[in-house]
Structure 1
Amino acid sequence: MVQESGKAAAPAAIAAGPSREEVMAVLAELEDAVADHIAWAQRWHRSAVCKLAPPRDVVSENAHYLCRFGAWLDLHQEDPIIGQNAFRTLDELHRTMHDNARWLAQRAWQDDRVPAEEYDALIDKINAFNSQVRRLEKAFRAALSDLDPLTGVRNRQTMMAELEREHERAVRTRQPCALVIADIDHFKQVNDRLGHRAGDRVLAEIAIFFQSHLRPYDSVFRYGGEEFLFCLPGTDSFQARPVIDRLRQNLSETTINLDDTRNVRLSCSFGVAAIERETSLATILEHADKALYAAKAGGRNRVMLWEDLAVGQAPRSASS
């Protein structure tokens, strides 16, 4: 049931994976880094060729911090995205490039001639930096295309490829894996009563809630409409039940802020099915969907296992 209130609650701190906005912000910084360093290299060449005093952002001991990209890297060095090995490599290339440029700019200013091999070494470092930026740009664009633009979780196209890999791994290693389909109860009421913008906000906030309340190695996908799918590796259906039941209960007690004056409380129904050796992925998804349908038919705000449905057990409710 949708519960609407007129007073907005204080937003809770949520630790989730990188959002679509965060990925886009990183991509923008990478794109600007190339343009900024082209301009920086031009200033370096002008001072070296024209025998002018090198600019401060070339010869300073902290030149790698004086450019916007270096300052951004330093500011965000504790961020999970920037802590990845690819960014540490980029940071090292960035520092080395600036160090080499500083030393060579000072030599060009003081001497009549710069050795060709030293100039070539600097150009190699500039090219290596630009190449690493381009590789990261490509990776982040690919990641962006894998994300659902509204919720920031991975989209259905990505989901199917990921589930095929997980199905193959579970069958090969005989390790358990549970798939869960979640459906927001009475979501149509949100759109009808509060408008589609409020509905979009609900979808985005619930996606964040799911990401922050599942394990780091669990996956969350936008399955379609108001449905999400979870992949829980190393977990069978019966192990998944208490995990998803806690998730269900926590969500039903969570207030979602729509704007400064309105908030809502919602619940979800869940259908759970395990990956089995002799069962195709399509059939397993059907099992989870049928379990979800039974949970909805049983009164909503419930967790239903396919195994329970197969033996005629009642859906698990908030009070059970």
Structure 2
Amino acid sequence: MPRKKPPIQHQSKHSGIQNCLGNIQEIDSALLHHEKWLKDIHRSLICDGNPNPDDLQEDGHCLCKFGQWYYKQNQGGLGSNVRFQKLENLHKLMHDKVRNLLVSKTAQSPISMGAYNAFMDNAIHFKLETRKLQFELIEKVCTVDQLTGTWNRHAMSYKLAQELERSIRTKEPCSICLMDIDHFKKINDQFGHQAGDLVLKTISQFFTDRLRKYDTIFRYGGEEFLLNFPGTTEEQLEVTINRLRTELQALPISMPDGSIIHVTASFGIADMVSDIGIEESIEHADHALLCAKASGRNCVCVWKT
């Protein structure tokens, strides 16, 4: 009877980000185990070595070192990753094919070239897909802000360029908003940097939970965030941001010492248009943000040409 696999358990976005580096290293280790397994298989097929009894079992894909790592990871942060899920069928299919080869070898029956090539094609495909998973995690580490879980500035230029190109192609508006947390230094000074980090994470999660699936939030630097809103005019965005600003103002944030604080933010909005480019559009949003700060903070200003 095939062994029962543990259920997939999903982790939070922040937890997944924190585990990325560990997962990258574990994939390296798992692939080393896979390569050793592959050598043992060839030794059994070519050198008349005795096959590992586990490789003759129907659940051999669960028994090998890679399989043990894989099904443990179903509970450890990668279970919800689509590319990770794809590996299961590839890994099982590879073991099914090699089991047939080993059965033929054990029975002293000839192994067809087609069956061997199918197994090797599967093994190569499996390794490539595993490496793609690893590269995906590396990209995530390089482009995601480790504290807040938002995209960082390295990712911002690329993603904003994609949205600008889409806006030009579809002739739909695209607006950006630069946000700065008001009096953030006072929070650090009064409660400490741990509290400041907590505020940054809370606010970034606040906006992430309320944005549409195709809106994007980036950590621009320090206590500043840049938000991108495809298909939205400056006027429409002003209404949305004012609503979010009011909700943010009412949001209670628990400090490490048990006290509750409320924070506000200032916002600058600008249109992202092709004739001036991304950098100048961000400059416009920055000027609008300065206007919001000069107007007493906790307000929204829109760049007007």
Could you state the TM-score of these two structures normalised by the residue count of structure 1?
A: 0.77
Question: Which structure 2 residues correspond to residues 135-214 of structure 1 after superposition, within 5 A?
Answer: 135-214=132-211
Q: Is the 8 A contact 1:184 1:227 kept in 2?
A: yes
Question: What residue is the counterpart of 2:5 in the other structure?
Answer: none
Shift of 1:55: 2.8
Give the partner amino acid of 2:300.
Answer: V
Q: Is the 8 A contact 2:14 2:148 kept in 1?
A: no
Whole-angstrom distance in 2 between the partners of 1:219 and 1:18: 20
Stretch moving more, 29-38 or 266-275: 29-38
Shift of 1:165: 3.2
Change in 2 beyond 3 A, CA 1:277/1:145: closer
Question: What residue is the counterpart of 1:125 in the other structure?
Answer: 122
Answering whether residue 50 of structure 2 is matched by residue 55 of structure 1, we say: no
Question: What residue is the counterpart of 1:4 in the other structure?
Answer: none
Stretch moving more, 181-190 or 133-142: 133-142
Shift of 1:186: 0.8
Give the partner amino acid of 2:50.
Answer: L
Question: Which structure 2 residues correspond to residues 1-320 of structure 1 after superposition, within 5 A?
Answer: 20-24=17-21, 26-45=23-42, 49=47, 51-52=49-50, 54-56=52-54, 58-66=55-63, 67-72=67-72, 80=80, 82-83=81-82, 86-111=83-108, 114-115=111-112, 117-259=114-256, 261=258, 264-307=261-304
Stretch moving more, 173-182 or 118-127: 118-127
Give the partner amino acid of 1:131.
Answer: L
Paired-residue identity, %: 35
Whole-angstrom distance in 2 between the partners of 1:186 and 1:207: 17
Q: Helix, strand or coil: the match of 1:181? A: strand
Q: Is the 8 A contact 1:15 1:212 kept in 2?
A: no
Q: Is the 8 A contact 1:51 1:109 kept in 2?
A: no
Shift of 1:242: 2.6
Shift of 1:29: 4.5
Whole-angstrom distance in 2 between the partners of 1:260 and 1:95: 51
Gaps of 5+ in 2: 1-10
Question: Whose relative contact order is higher, 1 or 2, with alpha carbons under 8 Å and at least 6 apart?
Answer: 1
Q: Helix, strand or coil: the match of 1:230? A: strand
Change in 2 beyond 3 A, CA 1:31/1:98: same
Whole-angstrom distance in 2 between the partners of 1:164 and 1:195: 37
Whole-angstrom distance in 2 between the partners of 1:112 and 1:171: 63
Could you state the TM-score of these two structures normalised by the residue count of structure 2?
A: 0.81
Q: What does the per-residue CA deviation read over 1:227-268, in whole Å, with 9 as the maximum and x for residues that have no partner? A: 000110001111112322232222222233454745543221
Gaps of 5+ in 1: 1-13, 311-320
Q: Helix, strand or coil: the match of 2:103? A: helix
Whole-angstrom distance in 2 between the partners of 1:262 and 1:285: 36
Q: What does the per-residue CA deviation read over 1:214-234, in whole Å, with 9 as the maximum and x for residues that have no partner? A: 111111111111100011000
